[in-house]
Amino acid sequence: MDLWVTEYQTPSLGFSCKITETLRNEQTRFQHLAVVETLQFGKMLLLDGMVMTTDKDEFVYHEMITQIALNSHPNPEKVLIIGGGDGGALREVVNHPAVKKGTLVEIDDRVITASRDFFPALSCAFDHAKAEVIVEDGIEFVKNQTAEFDIILVDSTEPVGPAVELFSAPFYKSAAAALKDDGMLVVQSESPFFNQDVIQMAFKGVQQAFPITKLYLASVPTYPSGLWSFTVGSKQYDPEKIMTRGSSCKYYNDEVHQAAFKLPDFVADIIGEGK
Amino acid sequence: MDLWVTEYQTPSLGFSCKITETLRNEQTRFQHLAVVETLQFGKMLLLDGMVMTTDKDEFVYHEMITQIALNSHPNPEKVLIIGGGDGGALREVVNHPAVKKGTLVEIDDRVITASRDFFPALSCAFDHAKAEVIVEDGIEFVKNQTAEFDIILVDSTEPVGPAVELFSAPFYKSAAAALKDDGMLVVQSESPFFNQDVIQMAFKGVQQAFPITKLYLASVPTYPSGLWSFTVGSKQYDPEKIMTRGSSCKYYNDEVHQAAFKLPDFVADIIGEGK
């Protein structure tokens, strides 16, 4: 018998992995959550049927949503992660030598529990001395902060359900207010091949709240199209310029940092920066 | 009724596209060939069940297998393509202003026919004044050439069936002999996430025949993992250094040229160049 899990990455595109077992399959207060054991990628976390992370390729996404800002900010002491309940981004944050405190605000505690139960390489971060884990709506949390953080990372699902507001201009403005006057914001902003509208929404929204806005790319095999974008807003520092140095990584390095900002023409066109 | 085509990119990973019709479905002398109309990517060509090219994302692969060598060779007048019967690489070659002649050697004339019938944006190149199309075994063709070409591009399927020998050290040596003394070879060398063995085979083989060997990357959504590698062997010129300038592209540009060589650590490790 063959068991498969399929993510419909678009209505016309299926991404299927052979699985050996279903480890968790539940409706939480906020979303459907599943953990399956795949042959190709090891354990896989899905929310509302969308692949969030897997054992085998989590390193790309988690390094690339964190290390660009961590290493272009000269002194990233206080870092806030909105979403990211699997703990992967938090692991990267607390392992950076310059960071003094990494705060994770996840709306759905069942994601945290699933990570603790099945993803030890991600959930290890929850118990780190520098880590603070808060179960709360990230949008409300950010509204109540002023000039508090050096970096805010938005590690969300795509803009459906609880994550819609995380892609809105008002949220980016309240994130800017929650950052110190030299702070940086990074948001995952989907695939340049499939989600041009999301990239435009994120990029234009961030641009309204930050004087410096740039897009960068990374290759995540389990995300639609395999090419993923991140939008970074910065009040002062150029996110392309490396200022600090973290621990060694599997995907990220100094050259990858700079190469990630070199956009193919069709990607530059999406954000109105084509030649 | 839903119709889908599925490529099993690995035994445990399926890539499925909703289709509206099957335009061609035949066993040629060499392989199974299909052309389907997909909703996500437009027309799609499959050989032995593997996606070769699609209307929507062909530009990435065809630009990136050609433009790196075309623009780092100072005078790429004569270019040979082995395989590539869809014509996409040939189109890029003959459109480059420095090229005087582009020769395509494809073993299976049914691929050429399918391209003429269904992929006008690719097959347009066959009738270009600079183009020469030869239906022949590329391995035998290369053996009979001496110091003839400036650039050879190996645009093959993966190393199964007729393409196995195209990934062998003896073939790379005969390709080196078919190149002028400042010639360059580019071979598609599969995914760093799934085909580390192929990359090592190609890279080590090319290294034995060329003093300069480098690996570069591009994001092709319809290829396994979405991240694809190319191995370039050069007798004299640094493939990272831009020497000429072709026509404008959708993926390739000067910055992408250089960024493509900046390898994540896990990729550098595959070819023994990790830090």
pLDDT interval class at A161 (50, 70, 90): confident
Q: Is the pLDDT of residue B117 over 80?
A: yes
**Contact state of A17 with B13 under an 8 Å Cβ cutoff:** yes
Contacts of A60 (CB under 8 A, 6+ apart): A218, A219, A220, A221, A250, A251, B264
Tens digit of each residue's pLDDT (9 = 90 or more) over A199-218: 999 999 999 999 999 999 99
User: Which is more confident, A81 or B273?
Assistant: A81
Six token digits for residue A252: 């990220």
| Chain B interface includes A39 (CB < 8 A) | yes
Do the chains contact at B6 and A13, CB–CB below 8 Å? no
| Reported confidence tier of residue A247, pLDDT bands at 50, 70, 90 | confident
Considering only CA atoms, which of B214, B219, B222, B215 is closest in space to residue B251?
A: B219
Query: Which of these ranges, A7-11, A27-31, A111-115, B164-168, has the smallest mean pLDDT?
Result: B164-168
The Cα A96–Cα A71 span in angstroms is 9
DSSP classification of residue B219: E
- Given a cut of 80, is residue A162 above it in pLDDT? no
- CB-based contact A265 B255, cutoff 8 Å: no
Average pLDDT, chain B: 96
Residue pLDDT, tens place only, B222-245:
999 999 999 999 999 999 999 987
For the stretch B68-114, pLDDT in tens is 999 999 999 999 999 999 999 999 999 999 999 999 999 999 999 99
The residue among B210, B188, B204 whose CA lies nearest residue B271 is B204
Query: In whole angstroms, what is the distance from residue A13 CA to residue B79 CA?
Result: 36
Smallest Cα distance from B175 to chain A, Å: 30
CA B156 from chain centre, in angstroms, equals 6
Distances (CA, A) of A41 to A25, A46, B7, B75, B110: 18, 13, 17, 44, 36
* Per-residue pLDDT band at A164 (split at 50, 70, 90): confident
Is the model's pLDDT at B275 over the cut of 80?
no
CB-based contact (8 Å) between A250 and chain B? yes
> Shortest CB distance from B264 goes to which of A16, A225, A251?
A251
Q: Tell which residue, A112, A110, A61, has the closest CA to residue A86.
A: A112
State residue B184's pLDDT score: 98
The string of pLDDT tens digits covering residues A76-108 is 999 999 999 999 999 999 999 999 999 999 999
What span, in angstroms and rounded, lies between the C-alpha atoms of B203 and B199? 6
Angle at B59 (CA atoms; ends A214, A268), nearest 5 degrees: 15
Residue A178 has what DSSP assignment?
Answer: H
Of A57, A86, A150, A155, the active-site residue reads: A155
According to the model, what pLDDT value does residue A241 have?
97
3-state helix, strand, coil in chain B (%, to 5): 35, 35, 35
Residue A8 contacts B, CB cutoff 8 Å: no
Chosen for mutation from A2, A12, A54, A67 (greatest number of chain B CBs closer than 10 Å) is A12
For B258, residues 6+ apart whose C-beta sits below 8 A from its C-beta are: A259, A262, B240, B242
| Residues B262, B264, B265, B270, CA torsion sign | negative
Query: Are B225 and A221 in contact (CB < 8 Å)?
Result: yes
Which domains are present in chain B?
3-54 (2.30.140.10), 58-270 (3.40.50.150)
The rounded distance, in Å, linking the Cα atoms of B89 and B83 is 10
- Compute the half-sphere exposure of residue A191: CA atoms within 13 Å on the CB side of its CA: 17
> With bands split at pLDDT 50, 70 and 90, how would you rate the model's confidence at B1?
confident
Residue of B40, B54, B60, B223 best to disrupt the A interface, most CBs of A under 10 A: B40
Amino acid at A233: G
- The answer to whether A188 and A151 have CB atoms below 8 angstroms apart is no
CA distance B69 to B155: 13
Interface A-B: count of C-beta contacts within 8 A: 118
Q: What is the pLDDT of residue B4?
A: 97
Contacts of residue B42, defined as CB under 8 A and 6 or more positions apart, other chains included, come to B54, B55, B56
Q: Do residues B172 and B203 lie in contact, with contact meaning Cβ atoms separated by under 8 Å?
A: no
Nearest CA in chain B to A251: B264
How far A67 CA sits from the closest chain B CA (Å)?
A: 13
Burial of B16 (0-12, 13-18, 19+ CB in 10 A): buried
φ, ψ (nearest 5 deg) of residue A14: -110, 140
For A242-264, what is the mean pLDDT?
A: 93
What is the distance between the terminal CA atoms of chain A, rounded to a whole angstrom? 53
The whole-angstrom separation of Cα B166 and Cα B168 is 6
Q: Does A255 sit within 8 Å of B262, measured CB to CB?
A: yes
DSSP state of A102: E
Q: Can you spell out the DSSP letters for B29-79?
A: SSSEEEEEEETTTEEEEEETTEEEEETTTHHHHHHHHHHHHHHHSS---EE
Mutation target among A9, A10, A16 for the B interface, most CBs of B within 10 A: A16
Q: Where is average pLDDT lowest: A31-45, A127-141, B155-169, B194-208? A: B155-169
Distance separating alpha carbons of residues A83 and A80, to the nearest angstrom: 10
Partner-chain residue, chosen from B10, B263, B275, that has the shortest CB–CB distance to A40: B10
Residue of chain A with shortest Cα separation from B64: A264
Which amino acid, B50?
A: M
Q: Do A125 and A87 meet the contact criterion of CB atoms below 8 Å apart?
A: yes
Strand order through the sheet with A101-106: A131-135, A101-106, A78-83, A149-155, A179-188, A227-234, A212-219
Catalytic: A127? no
Task: Give residue for tokens 């404008």.
Answer: B248
Which amino acid, one-letter code, is at A128? Answer: H
CB A172 within 8 A of CB A184: no
> Min CA distance, A177 vs chain B (Å)?
34
Q: Chain-centre distance of CA B249, in angstroms?
A: 16
Taking alpha carbons only, the member of B137, B140, B158 closest to residue B10 is B158
Residue with token string 């002062």: A236
C-alpha–C-alpha distance, residues B178 and B197, integer Å: 26
Length of chain A: 275
